[in-house]
A and B are shown apart, each in its own frame.
Chain A
Amino acid sequence: TQLLEQSPQFLSIQEGENLTVYCNSSSVFSSLQWYRQEPGEGPVLLVTVVTGGEVKKLKRLTFQFGDARKDSSLHITAAQPGDTGLYLCAGLTTDSWGKFQFGAGTQVVVTP
């Protein structure tokens, strides 16, 4: 099993602050996805990164895939209360079925 470790597990910040969430593995993934999950709902895809070194921006969110495709980060600039949620990274494994391996998640709380 290709494991993904997320850090930190929990992050509580004030509105307007910046934050970074990390997703690390000793294994190579074909691609990596970031999801956000709100209470009582299933995860919703934010972004997919495919190429080593790739950087993608989604408004105030910046996603980076490591050069070796073993790690990724999510950076939020000027966080807002609407960014509150559980952030999950998911690596596409190298098996033939294209299964995803999920990290344990980072709970982000942004207070006004």
Chain B
Amino acid sequence: DVKVTQSSRYLVKRTGEKVFLECVQDMDHENMFWYRQDPGLGLRLIYFSYDVKMKEKGDIPEGYSVSREKKERFSLILESASTNQTSMYLCASRVPYSRGHNEQFFGPGTRLTVL
């Protein structure tokens, strides 16, 4: 059974803290994505990685950075958490677009609250 796992389901942090969200996939997918989901706004792409050590900004990268040192792991970093980063964070993985209109497999999400 294919799987995308995220390090925490719930996380509470304080303003100014550095926050790490980890995502691991076991499908040997090259592409990985980080989204945030807010009511009424849907999923918005923060960053994606098309292969190891490769990354591209999505639609809302400000305040975030990412790391992809190994194929199976994609980390989202909030350098200095702020209250407007309180959200549900979803990680996804996929085979490269060049191989077709493929399904994204999502993790269960991390609900982050920044106080």
Contact = CB atoms under 8 A, between A and B. Distances in A.
Interface of A: 1, 4, 6, 9, 30-31, 33, 40-45, 48, 50, 88, 90, 92, 97-100, 102-105
Q: Main SS of the interface on chain A?
A: loop
Interface in B13-69: 31, 35, 40-45, 48, 50, 56, 58-59
10 contacts: A9-B40, A31-B101, A40-B108, A43-B43, A44-B106, A88-B43, A92-B97, A97-B48, A99-B48, A105-B42
Interface residues of B, number: 27
Contacts, number: 59
A45 B103 contact: yes
Contacts of A45: 103-104
Interface of B: 4, 9, 31, 35, 40-45, 48, 50, 56, 58-59, 90, 92, 96-98, 101, 103-104, 106-109
Contact of B97 (A50, A97, A103): A97
B44 A102 contact: yes
A-B interface, 4 closest residue pairs, ranked by CB to CB distance from nearest? A98-B97, A42-B106, A104-B42, A102-B43
Contacts of B101: 30-31, 33, 48, 50, 92
Contacts of B9: 40
Given A41-B108, A98-B97, A103-B42, 7 more contacts: A9-B40, A33-B101, A33-B104, A88-B43, A99-B58, A102-B43, A104-B40
B4 A42 contact: yes
Given A9-B40, A97-B56, A99-B58, A42 B90 contact: yes
